[in-house]
Chain A
Amino acid sequence: MLEYDILIVGAGGAGLYAALWASQNPKIKVGVMSKVYPVRSHTGAAEGGINAALANVAEDNPEKHAFDTVKGSDYLADQDAVEIMTRMAPEIIYDIEHRGVPFSRLPDGRIAQRPFGGASFPRTCYAADRTGLVILHTLYDQSLRQGVEFLNEWFLLNIIHNGERVLGVTALDIKNGEVHFIKAKAVIIATGGHARMYWNRTSNALGNTGDGTAAVLRAGLPLKDMEFVQFHPTGLRKTGILITEGARGEGGYLINKDGERFMKKYAPEKMELAPRDIVARSIEREILEGRGCGPEGDYICLDLRHLGEKKLMERLPQTVEHARVYEGVDPVKEPIPIRPTAHYSMGGIDTDKYGQTEIKGLYAAGEAACISVHGANRLGGNSLLDILVFGKIAAEHAAEYVTGVEHLPTDGSEYVKREEEFIKSLMDKEPKENLSQMRKEMGNIMASKVGIFREEGLMKEALNEIRELKERAKAGLAVVDKSKRFNLNLVQTLEFLNLLDLAEVTTLCAIERKESRGAHYRLDYPQRDDENFLKHSIVRRKEDGTLEHGWKEVVITKWQPQERKY
């Protein structure tokens, strides 16, 4: 049986950085499990940058950074956690810089910083347009340096605890299909976000399916603020792949089927460069009101033709390539079909500011966790920061915890048996449903009814429909591939079941929050309502499988809620 002092599940930025700090003490045995090789993790897709008040370009300090974050969060972030994050930001940047992250530089050799949405100063450190990639790869190289032990292509199934302490996890070794129990004194869940519940309406990787978050829900522990999902205004129509804000920054137009630059109705001054949520809502409104393009009127056009081929190739090569390869459209000659795309999961596993859950030894960090530093809306560049800061904090906390406790006695065989039986039941089922069809249905329900605009009636429909999908899955979604080795069909089915559980929670929370705040926009309650809803929503699953919804206070230290105006 595999045994670790600290087992980290997830090898994106959060997981790897946690591993580096946890393995500082050679006496602590650290393992990192990931369903893909570490450098494949979604952190590698982040382009824009990472925030820290280094003040390299303009006067700045952590307090201003904290205020921008709190304001951006529409006052739902916990201010103590935000302050920790922004205060630690500079030291974290210096630390990863010392470890080799090749940041872009100012002429005098210091780290360059650029302005980013919602920030009052140029505060975003970056490495060209591949900041996430270089952070992920540098942390991976460093984990090789520190001899971190990896379980690559292992899939987390369940978290095992005894109601007080965590015992370990069960997991599937994808390469040979074997199920294992892994004993651990502490487990850090860093499995990333769950925006794939919008299926192909997301900028996220295909595997961002919230497996860890769903496992925590199954373990009877609370999830927080799950209704908050950030939509990015410009995703490609077919795949949701992100078209960077830069395309509008360089002068791209958004046009509807009448060829109208419709942003003039919604943000006459800033036009296409208005804040993300406003642009996303405007696009969605055009589509909903029948002014979308195409036979189904289900998208808007991003027109870059007037910029000319030369400028496009020089300034936006990535955008041109994405449009050509993934949409089959040449932006030099045709407008690019786009629509808003689910981009980031603000909600997640409920933790305190050290990443701890209710169960001793069980931690969460990164996009999987909700600490909460992003509240109702995350600022660009704050997520890469969040995953590092709280990855480190969780690791240090866990390291301290494990030195004071012994492993609990268990051989884990009963847990393994349970998983094997479950997998067998999936394979033995008579197949009546088609996985890809069901995934599409889920995505459509979520995008059309629990997406950018929300309203009670539609969301209640969505809740029923998601629950129906769950029933159908239970009755007839079978794993048709019976082989043990690299069984994609099995992995994708497990991922889908996780997404369904989280979609249900998201919908429920969205129904319960009868106000508009940050990314959560209700047509039937268009105002923010601090009196009743300046609270985190909390959901947990009871023994009988039903969901229990409640609220939790927001921590306010310095900044009283004000109207969020830009």
Chain B
Amino acid sequence: MATAGKEILKGGFRMSQEKVVLKVYRYNPEVDEKPYYREYEVPTEGVQTLLDALFYIQENLDPTLSFRFFCRAAVCGSCAMKVNGISRLACKTPFKKLVERANGRPITVEPLNFLNTVKDLVVDHDKPFENLKKLQTWCEPKQPIPEKEYRVSPEEVKEYERPTNCILCFACYGSCEAVMDDPKYAGPFAFSRVYKYVLDSRVDEDHKRQMVKNAMEVGDIWSCVQCQKCIYVCPKGIRPAEDIQNVRGKAAEYGFKEYPGVKKVQHFVDWVYATGQINRLALPEEVYGVDPTPLINKFKERGAEVWEVPKPLPGLLEFRDLILEVMKEKKPHLDIDFHHVRRIDKKVEEIFKADVCTKVVEQFEEQREDFFSRFWKKISEFFGAR
């Protein structure tokens, strides 16, 4: 215990003149023709965070450098920027680690991707904030409003705890593959916010549906490619990619069946159940109503072997059982459309008759009887369980 003070004392004396180079993006659209980088030498000791390093530059080397900050404690969301290519909060990025990892190379600091530069590291935040407004992510209170508080279980609060931690720093926006391809895409954070309010029992049901609809129509939620980058960069441990899947699920649950995204999911669910895989040839028709024949013909003309129905694989029956088990347990937002599955099965049967894929079919034939009886048994169980 008596050494407590001294330990720190030693640390305090560890002064060193070592420096590291920060390569910082500079751009003032008013005067500069194009962006450029400027290098600054920053001491490696006595600088706690990347934000401190920027302050060091601004205070000692170049007062014209612009960047955003406010709380300097990772709660206000001002200071997200790109460090060696990855979106981070400057005030939450320990400088020491950056220096260690840089290993003598310069550390590159740039503004977040996909947002217009105001100056240097400052980007336009208006756009992502406006996206929230467009998606109407707020509480429209459920009627009747109680005299005191709404009753809300602690479990419910826990369910939306994670998206509630979002500080709107837009680190996720600047890393998002969907934003890159689709400027209309509202951004990972926006859908996490939608999800937060959708889970909240105090919010009016019609408004929830409206938010989910907005997410699809205004926010292009189906553009998300599930690359998971938003999860990786979020400084607050939020998992927008998962929230997005859940909002998509809500879209199905709310019966927004006419949206291509929902149709796509239905297509995936049914085909995977029926054949163990998705069917790219059926997708255009089932989702977008586009006749696939010309495409199929083209393939055939070129001599490609075309499978209108994917090859059912051995073990499919066990696989179907497994899917039903899982669905029973997880109660997903979208049910299997068994009419659809039957149509698929018919096609499968036709193909069997045509004796196309002998080997698999042989195996399949052996189990055939068994397959259909177990299949229908499962289905009745499945519905009975509801």
Contact = CB atoms under 8 A, between A and B. Distances in A.
Interface of A: 36-37, 39-42, 44-45, 54, 90, 93-94, 97-100, 102-112, 127-128, 130, 133-134, 137-138, 141-142, 144-145, 152, 175, 205-207, 238-239, 241-242, 255-259, 293-296, 301, 303, 322, 324-329, 334-335, 337, 434-436, 480-481, 483-489
Nearest to A104: B157
Contacts of A144: 132-133, 136-138
Contacts of A241: 72-73
B1 A255 contact: yes
Nearest to B135: A144
A141 B132 contact: yes
Given A40-B71, A205-B70, A326-B49, A110 B149 contact: yes
A295 B12 contact: yes
A109 B96 CA distance: 45
Contacts of B1: 255, 259, 303
B154 interface: yes
B40 to A, nearest CB: 15
A100 B197 contact: yes
B5 A294 contact: yes
Given A40-B78, A109-B151, A258-B2, A206 B48 contact: no
Given A100-B197, A485-B30, A107 B154 contact: yes
- Select the residue from B63, B129, B137, B146 with max chain A CB neighbours within 10 A: B63
A410 to B, nearest CB: 30
B48 A325 contact: yes
A40 B76 contact: yes
Nearest to B140: A145
A522 B141 CA distance: 51
A41 B70 CA distance: 8
Contacts of B354: none
Given A239-B48, A303-B4, A486-B119, A98 B202 contact: yes
A44 B76 contact: yes
B2 A205 contact: no
A485 B28 contact: yes
A516 B149 CA distance: 42
A295 B66 CA distance: 35
A163 B9 CA distance: 57
Given A205-B70, A328-B48, A102 B157 contact: yes
A39 B73 contact: no
A42 B71 contact: yes
Given A99-B139, A100-B138, A94 B157 contact: no
Interface of B: 1-5, 7-9, 11-13, 28-31, 48-49, 55, 58-60, 63-78, 92, 94, 96, 118-120, 122, 125-126, 129, 132-133, 136-141, 145-154, 156-157, 160-161, 164-168, 193, 197, 200, 202-203
Given A44-B167, A105-B156, A137-B168, 7 more contacts: A39-B76, A40-B70, A42-B76, A45-B76, A100-B202, A134-B164, A483-B64
Given A110-B149, A205-B71, A435-B59, A293 B9 contact: yes
Q: Which of A40, A97, A303 has the most CB of B within 10 A?
A: A40
Nearest to B7: A334
B111 to A, nearest CB: 12
B239 to A, nearest CB: 18
24 contacts: A41-B76, A42-B71, A42-B76, A44-B76, A98-B139, A98-B146, A98-B149, A102-B164, A144-B138, A206-B72, A239-B73, A255-B1, A258-B2, A294-B9, A327-B48, A334-B7, A334-B8, A335-B4, A481-B63, A485-B29, A486-B119, A486-B122, A488-B67, A489-B64
A468 to B, nearest CB: 21
Contacts of B77: 39-40
Given A44-B167, A301-B4, A483-B30, A325 B92 contact: yes
Contacts of B145: 98
A485 B118 contact: yes
B31 A128 contact: no
Contacts of A324: 94
Contacts of A480: 63-64
Contacts of A242: 73
Nearest to B95: A328
A109 B201 CA distance: 12
Nearest to A437: B59
A43 B188 CA distance: 25
Contact of A37 (B5, B48, B129, B151): B129
A329 to B, nearest CB: 8
A232 to B, nearest CB: 14
B72 A239 contact: yes
A296 B151 CA distance: 54
A295 B138 contact: no
B267 to A, nearest CB: 35
B58 A488 contact: yes
